[in-house]
Structure 1
């Protein structure tokens, strides 16, 4: 079965991100000039913000991988629920189509088949020698 691996990227603390954070914090202070010292006291340090962003990034990556795995389990379970002939035709169509190899697209393809909008698979099933 065609499958697109999820790319993994580590959070990177770059000078551009720190400069953007400094601009953001400066604009916050300048937007309230009478309370600039109070706003500055409440702002986190760049190191704390970057550490929090790194943790948030890791959590989002972990949740995204878990969501992708759950989608693949759901897609495989749905595919297993079809009769063998239909499942084989769906697998064959999945191998040759140009959609990204993600579970969401596989689920969409099966939904299209279920709602009668995937004529190519229906034609594959109607070929002589196929078992309906």
Structure 2
């Protein structure tokens, strides 16, 4: 965040409202109020990473979740894509604008088989 001019403030938000003239005021449960030009709302999402040596240590720095979302950070750099259904990784690499792309996709899961009535087969 600091690289983009942002600041992280921890706390529980009790109210957020737009201000006349732009920006926001955010009231926190501990009585503080914070004013900002922009808000970044986070949800506590946790990434579940595959068991690949070195991946966790590089996550968020050299390893990013999406070259489309992080296109600016990976511009003009070779890129590799790990995972995703076949075709997804190719679209992802193709849309990144990076030269020297390498993609490693995994096959999409097969849809469940059904019987002629449309219900799953008996096992």
Give the structure with the larger helix fraction. 1
Range into which the TM-score falls when normalised by the shorter chain: under 0.3
Taking structure 2 as the reference length, what is the TM-score of the superposition? 0.25
Give the structure with the larger strand fraction. 2
Taking structure 1 as the reference length, what is the TM-score of the superposition? 0.24
Greater relative contact order structure (CA < 8 Å, 6+ sep):
1
